[in-house]
Structure 1
């Protein structure tokens, strides 16, 4: 068990590092909106649109995989700050140099850098928190992720029909937030847990703190870590594939299938915001309780049912709104927030960011692969897309529930002394 730090310090760390989730969501949603605008301005075809969308998600996956390992190896703080600086450079490039080739380059860079920040930011929050705070602060990161998705949508409602000037406002918002987060992170020292574990590793301690990197990494593929690792990969790999469609292609679906304009399409997420906020706040309260796995199960069922609404009642703007409202609420209990909690509780310090990075990477790789074909499926049969998403969400959610249904819910991080004994 971790000794509880000062609540104010943990909260400040939770907010600053949680903003990495805000930026992650803001990039995904903003890119979806910006590419729709660029689709008209630069005459991008469906294949080009799908390629850019796939490159973004694919590179976020690579970034998460590499960033998690680098964070465990060299520290959470240096990786966080350097990758956030790369986000600033990438968004600036996308803002001022919008040719198709350069779009691909800067999309790749922003994906790599934002992906690399995710595992180290979440691990920093977990290691800065006491056992009673951890689930709540990780839940807070999910609320910040939600606002990262909503703010670009609000901006798009206001400026989405203004062409390139609208793009500048949407991307400038990411730049400002990222710079502020960098300044905030500079004031937060390196994780105490990582410093202690790294010192033990250098001294050649046993267990996870071996000097042999390959042997250390192989621990993730042995008991007791293998089952949670595989379960989280399957859960997040399948479910994030569906969630990514709503975040990255929501505007595309509403503009190209429902035939509404960009501003109207962007307003859909705003209608669902209250449901997401209520769900996220309830999650922060229940994640420490004994019934969190039961709520997770209900969330899995609710998510799959919500996605099928457009299939049963037709793909209209109003039906899409109902789907988002239910989906946002149910996903609060059976989505990325729960993955974050289970990941922090399942792996030891020097493998924690690596383990979570691997889980995030699988989720984003799967979403990236699917993103390449989403526009083509929409052209072929939009209803088929919703059926696929519902099925994979159900399969992924039930896999995680089966693996974690008997785990305790105190929110305790892995006791490493017990691991080494």
Structure 2
């Protein structure tokens, strides 16, 4: 296979698998824009709003899926997960679309969350493993790009179907079902990760018999991994605890900041996520393989802190709202989630790379879920300035951790990084020959 054809094949696979992130973000935003409508239609209180949000793709639902999907991805292969996770997602989306009451709504939300939790770590892992070393950030950034486009489309759809009330929300969930069905069909023809296949063949040849827990046990037995897990949880877990609330409760935050019209709230979010997509493409994907990643990360993280500080503490008005939308949108495109997807693929060996993704994604979603359980109540009792202390504190901690301990992995192949980190303790013979 020529280098040009190999590159084209890699991009096709990247785009198909990256759609997990569009679907994940779309599921979160579909719920975010409809929670108040479901609450009015089915008559539950703010406490149940927090429970539904906590059990969704934004939090505990995804955590459960990641805990199962990560180890299965290392045990049975990347293709196994991204072939079957969307079937579960489609079932959940249909249940929500046609839910007659709270119980079916809750079941559908949980199933969608589990499917997202299983699929996203597998997609990040597969994309990084199949990407050319010199374009790894660009390929991983495609997942972030899809994740950004999902909310932009979701909030725009919420504006369009807003006059339909709950029926409009049902149509948004049904659109996710259609996207998932098309993505599932396209993915059927994708090959297994060549790196995972080579590593599995090496394990079998050595007489090892991997089990469901092999990835987790291998991950935790290696002391080198403990620091990487702590670092990535600090970068992504803390940032995502804030981003998770923004994803699903941002309309309520805007309401507390003085914007009460749902259409205006959704249009602000369209601006946020459109800028996130642009920053991902023109920032992270263009420069993530060229510049020192430490300072690219720092710039994005710092801009996010400034954006939230203005929204929370500046006088309410058009300036503070637009400044937040622009700053937070650009920050999210350059920030923690894109770097997390990249660094998690780079800092762990192939045999437990997806398990590491699963563990970290699970813990990050648990952190989101714990705050989601009380976020609506805290927002009502403390107000935005009081809650802002928690938000700013989490973002500052994520900035410091990511900037101080950013790994120097740019320009290196996964094999080179693996050899540097583990020496001869793991096989490093999975790089494809250049003449294939």
TM-score tier by shorter-chain length is over 0.9
Q: Partners in 2 of 1:98 and 1:250 — Cα distance?
A: 26
In structure 2, how many angstroms separate the alpha carbons of the residues matched to 1:61 and 1:261?
33
Matched, 1:276 2:273: no
Structure 1 position 58 matched with structure 2 position 60: yes
Deviations 1:139-198 (A, max 9, x none): 111011000111110001111232122112211210111001001110101111111211
> Pairwise mapping of residues 216-255 of structure 1 onto structure 2 (< 5 A)?
217-221=216-220, 222-255=222-255
TM-score by length of 2: 0.90
Which residue number in structure 1 is paired with residue 111 of structure 2? 109
State TM-score, norm by structure 1. Answer: 0.93
Residues 81-125 of structure 1 show CA distances to partners (whole Å, capped at 9, x for unaligned) of 211001000010011124112222111111011110001111111
* Cα distance in 2 between the residues matched to 1:350 and 1:334: 27
- How far apart are the structure 1 equivalents of 2:100 and 2:316? 32
The reply to whether residue 354 of structure 1 matches residue 350 of structure 2 is no
Alignment of 1:380-419 (within 5 A): 380=381, 381-404=383-406, 406-410=407-411, 412-415=413-416, 418-419=423-424
Q: 1:210 to 1:236 in 2, by over 3 A?
A: farther
Equivalent residue number for residue 174 of structure 2: 172
CA contact (8 A) 2:156 2:270 kept: yes
2:48 alignment partner in structure 1: 48
Find 1:201's aligned residue among 200, 203, 226.
203
* SS class of match (1:6): helix
Distance 2:186 2:55 in 1: 29
Q: How many aligned residue pairs are there?
A: 415
CA distance in 1, matches of 2:266, 2:253: 11
How do 1:1-80 residues align onto structure 2 when only pairs under 5 Å count? 6-56=6-56, 57-80=59-82
Matches of 1:353 and 1:182, distance apart in 2:
20
Tell me, what secondary structure is at the counterpart of 1:188? coil
SS of aligned partner of 2:33: helix
CA distance in 1, matches of 2:54, 2:39: 15
State the Cα distance separating 1:220 from its structure 2 match. Answer: 2.4
Change in CA separation of 1:87 and 1:212 when aligned onto 2, cut-off 3 Å = closer
CA 1:315/1:245 → structure 2, altered by over 3 Å: closer, same or farther? farther
Q: Deviations over 1:221-259 (max 9, x none)?
A: 333322111100122111100011111111233346635
Change in CA separation of 1:315 and 1:359 when aligned onto 2, cut-off 3 Å:
farther
Moved more, 352-361 or 4-13: 4-13
Shift of 1:274: 4.6
Q: Is the 8 A contact 1:288 1:411 kept in 2?
A: no
Report whether the alignment pairs 1:310 with 2:315: no
In structure 2, what is the Cα distance between the partners aligned to 1:62 and 1:314? 41
Cα pair distance change 1:213/1:385, threshold 3 Å: same
The answer (yes or no) to whether the contact 1:251–1:262 under 8 Å persists in 2 is yes
The change in CA–CA distance for 1:318 and 1:89 in structure 2 (over 3 A counts) is farther
Distance of aligned partners of 1:243 and 1:202 in 2 relative to their CA distance in 1, 3 Å threshold: same
CA distance 1:98–1:370, change in 2 (3 Å): farther
Given that 1:236 and 1:362 are in contact with CA atoms closer than 8 Å, whether structure 2 keeps it comes out as no
Whole-Å separation in 2 of the counterparts to 1:214 and 1:164: 43
Unmatched 5+ stretches in structure 1? none
